[in-house]
Amino acid sequence: MIFLSTRRFDFFGYGILLFLIFFIVLPVLTVFLWAFAEQWFYPAVLPTKWGFRFWSLVLARPDVWSALITSVELSLTVTALSAVICLPAAYAFARMEFPGKSMFMMSFLMANAFPRFALIISIAVLFLSLDLVGTFTGVVIIQLLNTLLLMIWLPTAAFRAVSREMEEAARDVGASAWQVFRYVTLPQAFPTIAAALLMTFVWTFYETEGAWLVGAPRIRTMPLLMMQMINNQLVVQYGAVLSVMLWVPSLAAILMARRIIGGDAFAKGLGG
Amino acid sequence: MSATAMSLRNGWRGLAFIAIPVTAIAIFLFYPAALSIIGTLVRPKDGGGYTFSLQSYVFFFTDSYSLTNLGRTLWTTVVTLILLVAVNLPIALYMRFTKGTLATVIQALALFPMFVPGIIICYALIRYMGPNGWLQSLLNLVGFHHYASPHLTPWGPVIGLIWDGMPLTLLILISGLSNISDASIEAARDVGAGRLRILVSIITPEITHSLLIVSALNFLGIFGQALMPFMLGPTNPEMMGPFMLRTFASVRDPLQASTQATITFLICSLAGVAYVRSLARRPQEDRK
């Protein structure tokens, strides 16, 4: 510790820790408490009755299942489409020379330079005239746009990290371009690409604003259902149970993905 | 095959590989944005043909409700930005210059919001800081009975947006701080520089670029948010996000919604240009 503190007890560090516990840990913990609370009256500090009653109630609701199916269908479609159109582009950005390359790369980053919701509004206005509002296709397109940057940026970095020497060595012993790609480049880039696919799936699953504006009320995804349950507030536990049920598996997936990618890649990707 | 023919062929193949995503961006991002901007200026005339009109803008800028909403959005953006930097800069400094278990725990906690989807953050914050929420129960326990919940006040979205913006802000700041070498700080200490002096003279110049990116991205992020202000904020006045949503979906006035979006685009173009310019000035090897 060379800069901030030379004191024996790290007041500064514990101060930050305390802040983070109150600001980040406790709100998340609240959701878990509510999910397992059958009864919790203010001002009791902990639920007055614990149990799983609301889990079976949530699981018995048909709207939960239909929203879950819609969300999974949407996320699978978007992730697959995104992979099909983005992975070749990522390979081109990493390994090929073509006119206007840096300009095209910039055009993807420039999508970040727009306020997101204003963009969604302008797309929705266009979709209104194309009769795409309230359709599965409309939601797929708006969510697909959301994934392009991630699905190009991360795989580009992955392809670029593959050693050129190894590729050239394979060429020298007579491998075709396809063989080099299949047996040298792809295996090395695969972990990062898999992580990008996983993140795309999870982010699409939870994408709310695009689905809300373009899909509602006919296409009802899981986040939209949760929004409705939170706003109605008749049964507090429904929102909590849904959150815990859906978020814990996705958290595990994302944590796995992040182990592969590392935080620095995000910051660098956005220009940090 | 000659080298030029080879590179030409490669060039075409490269362009073919990127054609679909580039077209998708052009058709579904830039085209609708341009269309909605033009659509607010050029209107169909009754007898056929088109006419130039600023009417929808005149309405926006003479309508006190619209103006209040814009003002509320600017206020939220500025306050959130200042708080984001004020909260994250010390954490980033701590994480850059400290090793050990505590620093690891802090890093894990501070980056945690990245893994929490927006809708769950909203739910968690409502249950935690809302009226009769867990925070109030906890404060009651220690004898504090004057808790005023920020939920559905202008501070509600501010808190939600700080939650949401924290991981990215922190990552970019840490990435900026990692450019500073330990040696340069130790050298400064050796010649007797105090902490403040090191912060002002060595650290600040190094992270100006990061601060710029953080401000631009968060400005765009906050202006372009609808979910948090909708779930956590008041309805009157409301931020541009929910305002546009309501104008489009409930009032069913796409023209006025486009006008609001265009005004949002214009204000955000300042941050957008700053962001793109700072990207363009990055070291070459990153961009290639």
State the average pLDDT over residues B184-188: 85
| SS3 assignment for A118-166 | HHHHHHHHHHHHHCCCCCHHHHHHHHHHHHHHHHHHHHHHHHHHCCHHH
Q: What are the chain A neighbours of B87 within 8 Å (beta carbons)?
A: 19
Q: What six digits make up the tokens of A56?
A: 């079976």
Q: What angle do CA A205, A209, A213 make, to 5 degrees?
A: 115
Distance (Å) from the C-alpha of residue A231 to the closest C-alpha of chain B? 8
Taking the domain B64-287, which CATH number applies? 1.10.3720.10
Average pLDDT over chain B reads 88
Residue A49: φ, ψ to 5° = -145, 125
**CA-wise closest residue to A214 among A144, A123, A129:** A123
Cβ atoms of A35 and A237 closer than 8 Å:
yes
Please give the ipTM for the structure prediction: 0.87
Q: Do B175 and A267 touch (CB under 8 A)?
A: yes
H or E element: which one contains A38?
A: strand A37-39
Query: What b/e sequence results for A183-222 when a residue is b if at least 16 CB atoms lie within 10 Å of its CB, and e otherwise?
Result: ebbbeebeebbebbbbbbbbbbbbbbbbbbbbbbeebbbb
State the average pLDDT over residues B116-130: 92
Name the superfamily (CATH) of residues A61-269.
MetI-like (1.10.3720.10)
CA pair distance B19, B213, nearest whole angstrom? 29
Q: What are the chain B neighbours of A125 within 8 Å (beta carbons)?
A: 32, 35-36, 39, 248, 254, 257-258, 261
Q: pLDDT tens-digit profile of A104-114?
A: 888 887 877 88
Report field, pTM of the whole predicted structure over 0.95: no
Q: Is A201 on the interface with B (CB under 8 A)?
A: no
Residue A216: φ, ψ to 5° = -65, 150
Cβ atoms of A224 and A143 closer than 8 Å:
no
Q: How confident is the model at residue A5 (pLDDT cuts 50, 70, 90)?
A: very low
Count CB neighbours of B15 within 10 A: 17
Q: Do A4 and B110 touch (CB under 8 A)?
A: no
Q: Is B163 on the interface with A (CB under 8 A)?
A: yes
Q: pLDDT tens-digit profile of A7-60?
A: 557 888 999 999 999 999 999 999 999 999 988 888 888 998 898 889 998 899
ω into A217 cis (within 30 of 0): yes
Rg (CA), chain B: 24
Domain boundaries, chain A: 11-51, 61-269
CA pair distance A243, A223, nearest whole angstrom? 9
Average pLDDT over chain A reads 87
Distance (Å) from the C-alpha of residue B284 to the closest C-alpha of chain A? 10
H or E element: which one contains B232?
A: helix B227-232
